Amino acid sequence: MRLRHLIVSVLLPLAAGGCAGSQSALDPQGPNAASLAWLIGAFTIVCGIVWLLVMIVVGVALLRRRGAAEPADTPLAEDPGRERRKGAVVLAAVLATVVIVTGLTVISYLATHSLTAASGEPLVVRLRGYQWWWEVTYTSPSPDRFVTSANEIRVPVGRPVRLELSAADVIHSFWVPSLAGKQDLIPGRDNQLTFTAERPGIYRAQCAEFCGVQHARMALVVVALPPDEFAAWLDGQLRDAATPANEEEAAGREVASGKACAACHTIRGTPAAGTLGPDLTHVASRQTIAAGTLPTTRGSLAAWIADPQGVKPGNKMPMVPLSADELRAVSAYMASLK
Amino acid sequence: MKRRAALVMAVAMLVGCQREQRDLRLDPPVAAALDQVAPTANGIGGAPPDVYVALGGPYESNAYNLGEGKRLYTWFNCKGCHADGGGASGPALMDGWWRYGADPVSLFVSLRDGRPNGMPAYRDKLTTEQIWQLVGYVQTIGMASATTAAPSRNDEMQSRPAENRAPAAADLPTPPSR
């Protein structure tokens, strides 16, 4: 009684809760994810019915009372009528198997085929996987409108997005379950993935191919915005970094461009022009830092800069020795980079 | 007899559990102490910091540190000047005979403070730990015999035998004496 209570009150809601949310293949928010969700449903139902039938047949065979007609002393004796009936059952099972497997193959082909069929001019976004973060480059027909960002993809609602996937070091895989299936990012071999978001929202994505110690903390968010909001946001991203509003932020800019930060990070509009780590020009406009590890607040920025290896052990950002004043200044400056 | 054999097996298997430790987070005071090298007056040769010895020279004998050094060698474009075999604007580092010394302290000073004729200082671009990682890796480039620890393999074509293989520089002429 108590066990059943536990199952009903705790486990069922938990299991059902896993079906919805910002990261679920069963709660599709775009046509690609919807066709995959439909495929998951069809396979589950068909295979479930087959499993049930097989279990029933096995159960009947096990529990059936042996007939008196079977003479125990001649186990090899053949009854022609019985043999014919057995043959018919086996033939029917084989035919049913062929029909079901062919049917599943056909719907699987049709569903996956529809994933690459996009309508309309897609927005082309380059996504490059690094250990352990994502570089996002929004392309445009004119090269001066390319924007580089990190760990967050913003897309306009209703317009197909074509991701051009590449990797810098090892194989990664991009998976945003609410919008599309998985696609690998492979060093030296470019890949593509097209998806459309139908509703505004925030969808979590995750690296889906083990890529090293911090694979689990290699997430990003896909933010779907109404088209006019997206255009305004993109124009904002094209601008150089915000100028410091006060003395502390100005001191922070000096630290960021004078210390080792500038060897790896770019902050457009300042001398910092490294290309090994994420672009920080508009770092505070993003929802998370360190690839979905921490929310973007001044506190978490300071924690991250003060001790990157304590927050995300093994990541490629070293601990740069800073004084308390320098840390305060640089975190204020980072938090101002909207 | 059988029991003794089992005991020996068990000990052997336990030894197999030994795994290289990756020190991912160096304590800040240790990192600061690692900067305290004592080079000789001309900047070539000298004494490593005490903490380096106390740690057991982890930048030459730890494969993770060597691998990180190899990554930094590419990231910070050391290859741009010290290309394998040729070098472009800096000397190739394949023969193990280097103008400003091949010992860890000389290499550390070369990387941190730079050297005449073009070698820039990386004091403000790399942390002390990263400089030591590079020191460890750079030593494997000019090494004449394989060691037990080696960095990860190249992703591109090898221009010399991999670091974990037999002598890379065995066929090279003996370095001239000074």
User: Which of A186, A276, A317 would best serve as a mutation to test chain B binding (most B beta carbons within 10 A)?
Assistant: A276
A251 contact partners, CB below 8 Å, separation of at least 6: A325, A326, A329, A333
Mean pLDDT score of chain A: 89
Domain-embedded: residue B92? yes
- Count CB-CB contacts under 10 A for residue A129: 26
| Helix A31-63, helix A80-115: angle, nearest 10 | 170
Predicted local confidence at residue A308, as pLDDT: 94
Residue pairs between chains A and B whose CB atoms are closer than 8 Å: 39
Cβ(B31)–Cβ(A319) under 8 Å? yes
pLDDT in tens, A94-122: 999 999 999 999 999 999 888 877 678 89
Q: How far apart are alpha carbons B74 and B10 in whole angstroms?
A: 43
- Domains of chain B: total: 1
What percent of chain A stands above pLDDT 70?
Answer: 91
Q: Is the pLDDT of residue A324 over 90?
A: yes
Judge whether B16 and B22 are in contact, CB under 8 Å.
no
Q: How confident is the model at residue B172 (pLDDT cuts 50, 70, 90)?
A: low
CA distance A112 to A58: 35
- Residue B142 within any structural domain of the chain: yes
Name which of B24, B75, B126 is nearest A314 (Cβ-Cβ).
B24
Same fold? A123-237, A247-336: yes
The H or E element containing residue B11 is helix B2-16
Contact A307 B25 (CB under 8 A): yes
- Read off the tokens for B107: 């290499």
Range of the domain at B66: 57-152+161-173
CA distance A221 to A287: 8
Residue spans of the domains in chain A: they are 24-53+89-117, 123-237, 247-336
The pLDDT, as a whole number, for residue B89 is 81
Condensed to tens digits (0 to 9), the pLDDT of residues B74-90 reads: 999 898 888 776 666 88
Task: Please report residues of B whose CB lies closer than 8 A to that of A263.
Answer: 76, 124-126
Overall average pLDDT of the A10-27 stretch = 68
- Within an 8 Å CB–CB cutoff, is residue A187 touching chain B? yes
Task: Given the cut 0.90, state whether the ipTM is greater than it.
Answer: no
- Is A260 within 8 Å of B126 when comparing Cβ atoms? yes
A321 shares contact with chain B (CB less than 8 Å): yes
- What integer pLDDT is reported at residue A18 of this predicted model? 56
**Is A318 in Cβ contact with B129 (below 8 Å)?**
yes
Residue pLDDT, tens place only, A240-255? 999 999 999 999 999 9
Evaluate whether residue B45 is within a structural domain: no
Best residue of A254, A307, A309 to probe chain B, by most B CBs closer than 10 Å? A309
Percentage of chain B beyond pLDDT 70 is 88
CATH dotted code for A123-237: 2.60.40.420
Q: Is residue B145 part of a domain?
A: yes
Burial class (CB in 10 A: 0-12, 13-18, 19+), B162: middle
Residue B108 lies in a domain: yes
Is B35 within the bounds of a domain?
no
Q: What's the one-letter identity of residue A216?
A: A
pLDDT band of B35, cuts 50, 70, 90: very high
- Residue A312 C-alpha, separation from nearest chain B C-alpha, in angstroms: 10
Give me the CATH number covering residue B75: 1.10.760.10
Residue B141 located in a structural domain: yes
Question: Are B124 and A258 an interchain contact pair (Cβ–Cβ within 8 Å)?
Answer: yes
Query: What does the alpha-carbon distance between residue A176 and residue A17 come to, in Å, rounded to a whole number?
Result: 18
**Measured distance between the N- and C-terminal CA atoms of chain B, rounded to whole angstroms:** 61
Q: Is B146 exposed, middle or buried (0-12, 13-18, 19+ CB in 10 A)?
A: middle
Q: Which CATH architecture has domain A247-336?
A: Sandwich (2.60)
B127 vs A169, A276, A318: nearest CB: A318
Helix (H) or strand (E) holding A103: helix A80-115
Provide the β-strand partners of residue A177.
none
Subunit contact B28:A321, Cβ cutoff 8 A: yes
Q: How confident is the model at residue B178 (pLDDT cuts 50, 70, 90)?
A: very low
